[in-house]
Amino acid sequence: MTEAAATAPSFVSGTSTAPLLYRTVDGVLRAAVDGGPDRLALVVPQQSLRYSYREFDAAVERVARGLIGCGLDPGDRIGIWAPNCAEWVLTMFAAARAGLILVNINPAYRTSELEYALRLVGCRALVFSAAFKGSDYLAMLRELIPELGHAAHGRLVSERFPELRLLVRIGSGEAPACLSFADLEAAGHERAAGAIGALAPTLDPDQPYNIQFTSGTTGLPKGATLTHFNIVNNGFFVGEAMRLADTDRVCIPVPLYHCFGMVLGVLAAMTHGAASVFPGEAFEPLATLETVQRERCTALHGVPTMFIAELEHPRFRDFDLSSLRTGIMAGSPCPIAVMRRVVDEMHLPEVTICYGMTETSPVSFQSSCDDPLERRVGTVGRIHPHVQVKIVDGDGRVTPRGTSGELLTRGYSVMRGYWAEPERSRDAIDAGGWMHTGDLAVIDEQGYCNIVGRVKDMIIRGGENISPREIEEFLYRHPAVLDVAVVGVPDHKYGEAVCACIRLREGASADEEQIREFCRGQIAHYKVPRYVRFVDSFPMTVTGKVQKYLIREHVRAELKLSDEAHA
């Protein structure tokens, strides 16, 4: 390393000959229609649906008119609580066309989490599936909204959710007070068509468009508020790094409620006139392999555990994956042996690695199609176009290249803030516009970034960010629990698993299964502790803070878990 390189600061700024797009999400669709109305836009095999861009645009128009016809106004929040399906994508673009703010709700959410999300953002409408993977969404809504039993069809009034007026059910069957999705499409009329036409020129790419919930590092989920400008450009430049073109077909087995599916999948594809292909409601390796072969997909997304599941499927060798070229692997580090198999056996020589967070739309770093495998495995690539990143020490000073510190990012991709939480927003984004990620990182002399840890105690399980404090606050409701500390411990499959260490009240008793059963159906399945340990005390600092790193070390030793489980 030269003397100049040794003293270079850990600051990188992405450049590009491609300018930022000043376009709404609806503008992306309209441009794709103009560019090739008969090209394939969306394929959803489990629903036997195939849309050209012309057909998809017409369906979006019907849904947007229905939303206006049902009384929704620009700026109203519309929640979507469903697995991957055509209605999810239609709602995504119809909300943009109608000037609404789309609220992504995790399909794994249970009653307490759903209530918190709806109340925080004041949802006016909710589009939901009746059931998914053993979750009875309709039953949960009836529990939260007793008025459902006697409300007029399509006219809800709820004491607990005063702003919620419209429930739209995806799928067949009737539900009191709920419109079907077909009813919604039919609700638009000529007045609604005129309203859509008048609204179009008033829509602004800088307006908030999407609220995505992130657990962050402390407390209850926060609603990261993203603009059209945020996610349209992030999707575009992700697609640029993948070298997407209008001939590509992107297989998207990752969830739409997350930026991975919605931005890195749908918007990356549509900003390049490519097709989005959804192999199922949720990830299933066989369905993904079948879909790639049948649809001749050219790109495939997933977290490392998904790629491993596909490679290890007993029928893997039965499928012709030679159409594949590129894709994205993100969520957690990938062992180089797995990456080699993905490149060689899945025909993905140009697979890329991404790093980011919901609050930054999400991608800040991405490897290129030409980066050697060692770079794609050992780093998260280089800075994205039009984005700035610096690494700072505990005093806020920029570190020299090669020295770790907290990663801060700034630019078009940084969210507007956390919905209705100005104090938490100020904690995350400083006066200079820098988003504090909480991640520890190193930037080398070539500008490649390596994530080396976390400043705070976030648990990352299979790509899901889990706030220990959120689980702790829920477990405090258990009558036998006096005190609790939740930590992440190594897990071979998911990278990390949730472990709850509990002090019981004097005279109270509980076992591991009782604690887990208390959580089931109340918090998302991935937050339910895999391990439960009962302790008499916690290691504390002199100022009374629990020393979680000592708890993690003790649990790792007790359960004979190794950090190699992350590999």
The pLDDT of residue 5 is above 50: no
pTM comes to: 0.85
Predicted confidence at residue 518, as pLDDT, reads 97
Q: Which residues pair with 442 in a beta bridge?
A: 450
Q: What is the pLDDT of residue 85?
A: 98
363, two tokens: 């991608």
pLDDT band at 218; cut points 50, 70, 90: very low
Strands 350-356 and 326-329: parallel
When comparing pLDDT for 3 and 87, which is higher?
Answer: 87
At 94-111, the pLDDT tens digits run: 999 999 999 999 998 999
Computed over every residue of the chain, the mean pLDDT equals: 92
Q: Give the tens place of pLDDT for each residue, 287-314.
A: 999 999 999 999 999 988 899 899 989 9
219 pLDDT band, cuts 50/70/90, is low
- Given a contact cutoff of 8 angstroms between Cβ atoms, the answer to whether 27 and 57 are in contact is no
Distance CA 113, CA 214 (A): 12
Long-range CB contacts for residues 159-162, cutoff 8 Å, separation at least 24:
160/115, 160/119, 161/118, 161/119, 161/123
- Is pLDDT above 70 for 492? yes
Residue 141 to residues 114, 123, 147, 176, 551, Cα–Cα distance (Å): 9, 14, 10, 11, 38
The answer to whether residue 467 scores a pLDDT higher than 90 is no
Q: What is the pLDDT of residue 337?
A: 79
pLDDT tens column, 19-78: 999 999 999 999 999 999 999 999 999 999 999 999 999 999 999 999 999 999 999 999
pLDDT digits (tens, 9 = 90+) for 150-196: 877 667 899 999 999 999 999 887 888 899 999 999 998 877 889 99
Least reliable range by pLDDT among 154-163, 210-219, 354-363: 210-219
Which of the four pLDDT bands, split at 50, 70 and 90, describes residue 458? confident
Report, as an integer, the average pLDDT of 434-452.
93
Would you say residue 555 has pLDDT above 60?
yes
Question: To the nearest whole percent, how much of the chain has pLDDT over 90?
Answer: 77
Angle between helical axes of 512-519 and 468-475 (0-180°, round to 10): 100
Q: Which residue has the higher pLDDT, 503 or 467?
A: 503
Give the Cα separation of 437 and 456 in Å (integer): 10
Alpha-carbon distance of 171 to 103, in angstroms, equals 20
pLDDT of residue 222: 93
Dist. CA 34–CA 55, nearest whole Å:
13
pLDDT at residue 408, as a whole number: 98
Residue with tokens 């249970």: 110
H or E stretch at 533: strand 531-534
What is the pLDDT averaged over residues 440-464?
A: 86
* 1, pLDDT greater than 50: no
Q: Report the distance separating Cα 247 and Cα 260, nearest Å.
A: 21
Kindly tell me if the per-residue pLDDT of 557 is higher than 70: yes
Residues of the chain with pLDDT > 70: what percent? 95
Helix (H) or strand (E) holding 192: helix 190-199
Q: Is the pLDDT of residue 545 over 80?
A: no
Q: Which residues contact 211 (CB under 8 A, 6 or more apart)?
A: 77, 101, 102, 103, 104, 121, 223, 224, 225, 226, 419
With 90 as the cut, is the pLDDT of residue 230 above it? Answer: yes
- In the prediction, which pLDDT does 542 show? 44
10-37 as b/e: b if 16+ CB within 10 A: bbbebeeeeebbebbbbbbbbebbeeee
Domains and CATH numbers, the chain: 37-214 (3.40.50.980), 459-566 (3.30.300.30)
